[in-house]
Amino acid sequence: MDELIERAQAGDHEAFGEIVQRTAPDVRAFIAAFCPSAAQIDDLAQETYVRAYQKLKGYSHEGLLVAWLRGIARNVVFEDRRNRRREAPLKSDALNALVDERVHQRTASSDVGRKVDSLKECLDRVGGTSRQLLEDFYVKEHTSEAIAQSLGRTASWVRVSLMRVKRKLAECVEAKLSTPRAG
């Protein structure tokens, strides 16, 4: 990665593109924690990388590049949030507005980066049917009805099973967060 960064700092676009490709999942997941709306993640991630490119020469190789990018992403997200509130009244319904506000409060008081990293590690441990359920639901974006059909189960079974997997993930994340960070 260091060599890629040096090449990108020297103006090599391809090297920067490679950095984007390698870091995008981590940066996007971080943004998603602040802003669950999938439609906005693309824009915010793109803006993050444009700003990173402009600031890249000032990057000093101290600490991880992903952490540096997440710092930029945090600023982009907060700026976007302020602008949204200032410029356009929320068009979303009462439930979405409640959820948005609560997500905002949650991100203001937690180490989002560490939570995302912990969740990533916990996800890597999920296998078998649980993994299949997660991939069908989140990656293939199948509805619980569609998953139920393919598995010969009921939609309720799928929904409850998904919640169980997520609960285990949440417990795993909690356990990791309660362990002091190494170093």
End-to-end Cα spacing for the chain: 22
Sign of the Cα torsion 54, 58, 62, 68 reads: negative
Which of the residues 125 through 164 are near another protein (CB under 8 A)?
134-135, 137-141, 143-146, 149, 156, 158-160, 162-163
**Which of 61, 63, 83, 111 touches another protein by CB under 8 A?**
83
The two three-digit tokens of residue 105, written as one number: 């409060």
**For residues 146 and 177, which CB has a smaller minimum distance to another protein in the complex?**
146
How many contiguous H segments (helices) and E segments (strands) does the chain have? 9, 0
Least Å distance, CB 183 to another protein, is 23
Does residue 15 belong to the site contacting another protein (CB under 8 A)?
no
Q: Which one among 102, 114, 125, 153 touches another protein, defined by CB under 8 A?
A: 102
Q: Is 43 in the site for another protein (CB under 8 A)?
A: yes
CB 165 within 8 A of CB 130: yes
Binding segment (CB under 8 A) for another protein, from list 62-70, 98-106, 174-182: 98-106
Tell me which of 1, 10, 50, 175 binds another protein, using CB under 8 A: 50
Task: Please report how close the Cβ of residue 63 comes to another protein at its closest, in angstroms.
Answer: 21
Q: How far is the CB of 93 from another protein (least distance, A)?
A: 8
Please report the sign of the dihedral spanned by the C-alpha atoms of residue 145, residue 139, residue 77, residue 84: negative
Indicate whether 67 belongs to the interface with another protein (CB under 8 A): no
Pick the binder of another protein from 55, 61, 153, 166 (CB under 8 A).
166
DSSP per residue, 62-127: -S-HHHHHHHHHHHHHHHHHHHHHHHS---S-HHHHHHHHHHHHHHHTS-HHHHHHHHHHHHHT--
